[in-house]
Structure 1
Amino acid sequence: MSRVKVFDRDGLSQTQRDRDLWFKVDETLLNEEKRILFLKRKEAIDLYVNNEKSLKEIFSCTGIDRRNLIRLYNRCISFDENGLPWGYRALIPGKNIKKYELDPLSKKSNESRKTGEFNLLLDKYPQIRDEIDDLFFGRKKKLTEPVMKPKYIHKKFVDRCKEAGISRSSYPFNTDTLGYRALCRYLENLRDIHFGKAASRFGHDAEQKAKNSGIGQQNYPQNITPYQKVEFDGHRIDGIFVIKVKTLEGDDAVLTLDRLWLLSFTDRATRNVIGRPHICLNKEYNASDVMIAAKKAIIPFKKKNLTIDGLSYQPTGGYPSEQFPEIEWAVWDVIYFDNAKSHLAQMVRERLSNLIGCTTCIGAVDRPMRRSFIERFHNTFTSSSIQRMANTTGSHPKDPRRKDPEKMAIRYEITFEHLEEIVDVVISNYNGTPHGALFYNSPLEALEQRLKKGMKPRLLNESKRTEFLFTQVEQPRTIRGSISSGKRPYIEYMGVEYRNELLVKSAHLIGTKVNVHINVDDLRTIRVFLPDGSEFGELVAAGKWSLTPHTLQIRKAINLLKKNKLIHFTQWDDPIFVYHEYLIAKETEKKKGSGNRIAKVQQVIRQAEEESNSPNQNKLLAQEHKNLAELDKARELQEKIQAQKTSTSTKRYKTITY
Structure 2
Amino acid sequence: MSRARIYEKSGLEQEQINPVHWPSVDESSIKEPMRTNYIQRKKAVYMYFSRDRLEKIQEVTGVSPRNLRRLVQRCMQYDRDGVVLGFRGLIPQKNVKLYQLDVFNKKQNNDRKTGEFNRFLDIHPDIRELIEDLYLGRKNRSLEPVMKVKHVHKRFIEECRLKGVTYSDYPLNTEWMGYKAVQRYLKQLALQNFRKSVARHGNDAMQKARHVGEETQNHISKLFPFQEVQFDAHRIDGFFAVDLTTPDGDLVTKLLERFWILTIIDVATRNILGYSISLSKEYSASDVMHCVRNSVMPHKQLELTILGLSYHSVGGFPSEKFPELTWAVWDVICLDNAKSHYANMVKDRLDNLIGCFMNLGPVALPMRRGIIERFFKTLEENGFHRLPNTTGSGPNDPRRNNPEEKALRLNITYDHLKQLIDVLISNYNGTPHGGIYHQTPLELLEKRMTTTGLMPRRLEEAKRSELLFMQTTQKRTVRGSLKSGKKPYIQFEGVEYRSERLANSAYLLNTELVLHVNVDDLRTLKAFLPDGSEFGYLTAAGRWSLTAHSLQTRKAINSLVQRKLLHYTTWDDPIFIYTDYLMRTKKSRNMTNKITQVHEVSKYEPSNLPLEQTQLLEESHRHSKLLDNAREEQLKREKINEMDVYDQLLKQFKTKSL
Q: TM-score range by the shorter chain?
A: 0.5 to 0.7
Q: What TM-score does the superposition give when structure 1 sets the normalisation length? A: 0.64
Structure 1: give runs of 5+ residues left out of the alignment: 1-218
* Contact 1:479 1:491 (C-alpha < 8 Å) held by counterparts: yes
Q: CA deviation at 1:419?
A: 0.8
* Contact 1:233 1:265 (C-alpha < 8 Å) held by counterparts: yes
CA–CA distance in 2 between the matches of 1:544 and 1:339? Answer: 39
Q: Which position in structure 1 is the counterpart of 2:310?
A: 312
Q: Which position in structure 1 is the counterpart of 2:558?
A: 559
* Contact 2:332 2:358 (C-alpha < 8 Å) held by counterparts: yes
CA–CA distance in 1 between the matches of 2:588 and 2:508? Answer: 46
CA–CA distance in 1 between the matches of 2:421 and 2:470? Answer: 23
Q: Which position in structure 1 is the counterpart of 2:618?
A: 622
- Which amino acid in the other structure matches residue 399 of structure 1? D
Q: Which position in structure 2 is the counterpart of 1:87?
A: none
* Contact 2:285 2:341 (C-alpha < 8 Å) held by counterparts: yes
* Contact 1:368 1:375 (C-alpha < 8 Å) held by counterparts: no
1:357 aligns with 2:359: no
Selected match of 2:444 from 435, 443, 446? 446
CA–CA distance in 1 between the matches of 2:636 and 2:483? Answer: 34
CA–CA distance in 2 between the matches of 1:220 and 1:481? Answer: 56
- Which amino acid in the other structure matches residue 609 of structure 2? N
Distance 1:639 1:600, change over 3 A: same
- Equivalent runs, 1:292-371 vs 2, <5 Å: 292-365=290-363, 370-371=368-369
Q: After superposition, give the CA deviation of every residue in 1:25-54 in whole Å (9 maximum; x if it has no partner).
A: xxxxxxxxxxxxxxxxxxxxxxxxxxxxxx
Q: Which position in structure 2 is the counterpart of 1:47?
A: none
Q: Secondary structure at the match of 2:462?
A: helix
Q: CA deviation at 1:613?
A: 2.6
- Equivalent runs, 1:223-238 vs 2, <5 Å: 223-238=222-237
Structure with greater Cα Rg = 1
Q: Which position in structure 1 is the counterpart of 2:646?
A: 650
- Which amino acid in the other structure matches residue 232 of structure 1? F
* Contact 1:480 1:489 (C-alpha < 8 Å) held by counterparts: yes
The more displaced of 264-273 and 459-468 is 459-468
* Contact 2:240 2:414 (C-alpha < 8 Å) held by counterparts: yes
Q: Secondary structure at the match of 1:370?
A: coil
- Which amino acid in the other structure matches residue 624 of structure 1? S
Selected match of 1:375 from 369, 373, 376? 373
Q: What TM-score does the superposition give when structure 2 sets the normalisation length? A: 0.64
Distance 1:424 1:642, change over 3 A: same
CA–CA distance in 2 between the matches of 1:369 and 1:286? Answer: 20
- Which amino acid in the other structure matches residue 345 of structure 1? A
* Contact 2:489 2:497 (C-alpha < 8 Å) held by counterparts: yes
Q: CA deviation at 1:222?
A: 4.1
Q: CA deviation at 1:314?
A: 0.9
* Contact 1:288 1:471 (C-alpha < 8 Å) held by counterparts: yes
CA–CA distance in 1 between the matches of 2:443 and 2:355? Answer: 27
Please tell me the root mean square deviation across aligned C-alpha atoms, in Å. 1.7
Q: Percent identity?
A: 50
Q: Which position in structure 2 is the counterpart of 1:632?
A: 628
Q: CA deviation at 1:616?
A: 2.4
- Equivalent runs, 1:34-49 vs 2, <5 Å: none
CA–CA distance in 1 between the matches of 2:383 and 2:410? Answer: 16
The more displaced of 508-517 and 534-543 is 508-517
CA–CA distance in 1 between the matches of 2:221 and 2:352? Answer: 28
Q: Which position in structure 2 is the counterpart of 1:423?
A: 421
- Which amino acid in the other structure matches residue 473 of structure 2? E
Q: Secondary structure at the match of 2:226?
A: coil
1:246 aligns with 2:245: yes
Q: Which position in structure 1 is the counterpart of 2:477?
A: 478
Q: CA deviation at 1:611?
A: 5.0
Q: Which position in structure 2 is the counterpart of 1:261?
A: 260
CA–CA distance in 2 between the matches of 1:372 and 1:498? Answer: 47
Q: Which position in structure 2 is the counterpart of 1:606?
A: 603
1:597 aligns with 2:594: yes
* Contact 1:466 1:614 (C-alpha < 8 Å) held by counterparts: no
CA–CA distance in 2 between the matches of 1:583 and 1:420? Answer: 24
Q: Which position in structure 1 is the counterpart of 2:186?
A: none
Q: CA deviation at 1:294?
A: 0.7
Q: Which position in structure 2 is the counterpart of 1:461?
A: 460
Q: CA deviation at 1:614?
A: 2.8
Q: CA deviation at 1:562?
A: 1.5
Q: Secondary structure at the match of 2:368?
A: helix
Alignment size in residue pairs: 436
* Contact 1:338 1:365 (C-alpha < 8 Å) held by counterparts: no
* Contact 1:392 1:401 (C-alpha < 8 Å) held by counterparts: yes
CA–CA distance in 2 between the matches of 1:592 and 1:314? Answer: 39
CA–CA distance in 1 between the matches of 2:308 and 2:368? Answer: 38
* Contact 1:248 1:581 (C-alpha < 8 Å) held by counterparts: yes
Q: CA deviation at 1:467?
A: 2.0
Q: Which position in structure 2 is the counterpart of 1:212?
A: none
CA–CA distance in 2 between the matches of 1:474 and 1:241? Answer: 36
Distance 1:221 1:558, change over 3 A: closer
Q: After superposition, give the CA deviation of every residue in 1:261-316 in whole Å (9 maximum; x if it has no partner).
A: 110000001100002x1110111111111111111111111111111111111111
Asked which structure has the greater RCO (Cα within 8 Å, sep 6+), the reply is: 2
Q: Which position in structure 1 is the counterpart of 2:389?
A: 391
Distance 1:345 1:577, change over 3 A: same
Q: Which position in structure 1 is the counterpart of 2:208?
A: none
Q: Which position in structure 1 is the counterpart of 2:199?
A: none
CA–CA distance in 2 between the matches of 1:402 and 1:650? Answer: 66
Q: CA deviation at 1:369?
A: 5.9
CA–CA distance in 2 between the matches of 1:486 and 1:220? Answer: 63
Q: After superposition, give the CA deviation of every residue in 1:487-508 in whole Å (9 maximum; x if it has no partner).
A: 1211010111111221122222
* Contact 1:317 1:444 (C-alpha < 8 Å) held by counterparts: yes
